[in-house]
């Protein structure tokens, strides 16, 4: 049994007029089936409005299914009694670092989560230390968050989630507002936590380059999963991705163009080393 199991998950947004009558219904998540194994690094791609963030918000019970079920670590999100344990087990990091940091000192911000769920003070500090070290921000523990770079702020936000000792972390476009350095920092941190702590990672992103090292990729369109597979399987379908308003990494695109022009190059090239190898073999 996976750590996240979605079965025919549906989410509908209702728009109501002033009297509260339903004006229109929008199906943001449409019968999604998903199975994530513990310790996997999963990416979800999809254009703006494809339903990927709505799906993500189900994983820590911020939204509840209209139909279907979602199990997180075996617990049904629609059962109210499960809410706290689900939120502890599935931590969420959002796009804008400035909306997630609340305290005026880094270590206090990281300690906020555990304190909020009643972790004893002694243990809070052990957790804060562990969490900050795991994202490489320990030396900034006494700094003020507003003096940090975007990438550092996001790492603090991730530490805040780590301090809850979750089994999985959902990162909803964590790099959208960062510069290239900050982006690398955050993705590297996510991979490290996945590798060294065994945390399951769900990464939602628009940047194709960030997806290359995932174990498995889902592509969403109009609320449904329309493609799934390893990064290589996904990125060998350049035309299909374009049709879903997505992209492929630049070298993948170049390799594809060269193949179309008649060169003998395998499909699904992901890195420049691979393309170099294919050209120079």
- Residues making contact with another protein (CB under 8 A): 46-49, 95, 149-150, 173, 176-182, 206, 208-209, 242, 245-247, 249-251, 253-254, 257-258, 261, 263-264, 272, 275-276, 279-280
- Of the two residues 199 and 211, which places its CB atom closer to another protein in the complex? 211
- Of the two residues 80 and 239, which places its CB atom closer to another protein in the complex? 239
- Of the two residues 44 and 86, which places its CB atom closer to another protein in the complex? 44
User: Could you tell me the smallest distance in angstroms from the CB atom of residue 95 to another protein?
Assistant: 7
- Of the two residues 10 and 278, which places its CB atom closer to another protein in the complex? 278
Contact by Cβ (8 Å): 57, 226: no
User: Could you tell me the smallest distance in angstroms from the CB atom of residue 254 to another protein?
Assistant: 5
- Of the two residues 23 and 67, which places its CB atom closer to another protein in the complex? 23
Contact by Cβ (8 Å): 228, 68: no
User: Could you tell me the smallest distance in angstroms from the CB atom of residue 208 to another protein?
Assistant: 7
User: Could you tell me the smallest distance in angstroms from the CB atom of residue 266 to another protein?
Assistant: 15
User: Could you tell me the smallest distance in angstroms from the CB atom of residue 139 to another protein?
Assistant: 19
User: Could you tell me the smallest distance in angstroms from the CB atom of residue 112 to another protein?
Assistant: 25
- Of the two residues 26 and 67, which places its CB atom closer to another protein in the complex? 26
């Amino acid at each position: 049994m996976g750590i996240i199991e979605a079965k025919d998950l549906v989410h509908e947004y209702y728009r109501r007029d002033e009297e509260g009558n339903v004006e229109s219904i929008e199906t943001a998540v449409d019968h999604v089936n998903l199975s994530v194994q513990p310790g996997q690094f999963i990416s979800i791609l999809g254009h703006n409005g494809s339903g990927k963030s709505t799906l993500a918000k189900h994983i820590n019970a911020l939204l509840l299914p209209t139909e279907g079920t979602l199990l997180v670590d075996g617990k049904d999100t629609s059962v109210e009694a499960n809410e706290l344990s689900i939120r502890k087990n599935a931590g969420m990091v959002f796009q804008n670092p400035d909306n997630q940091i609340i305290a005026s000192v880094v270590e206090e911000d990281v300690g906020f989560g555990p304190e909020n769920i009643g972790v004893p003070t002694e243990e809070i500090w052990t957790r804060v230390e562990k969490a900050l070290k795991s994202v490489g921000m320990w030396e900034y523990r006494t700094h003020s968050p507003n003096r940090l770079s975007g990438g550092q702020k996001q790492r603090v936000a991730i530490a805040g989630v780590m301090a809850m000792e979750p089994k999985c972390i959902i990162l909803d476009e964590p790099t959208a507002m960062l510069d290239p350095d900050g982006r690398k920092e955050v993705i590297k941190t996510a991979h490290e936590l996945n590798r060294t702590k065994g945390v399951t990672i769900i990464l939602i992103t628009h940047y194709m380059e960030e997806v290359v090292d995932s174990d498995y990729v889902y592509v969403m369109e109009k609320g449904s999963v329309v493609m799934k597979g390893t990064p290589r399987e996904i990125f060998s379908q350049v035309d299909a991705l374009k049709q879903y308003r997505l992209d492929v990494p630049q070298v993948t695109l170049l390799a594809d163009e060269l193949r179309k022009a008649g060169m003998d190059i395998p499909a699904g090239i992901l890195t420049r080393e691979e393309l170099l190898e294919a050209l120079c073999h």
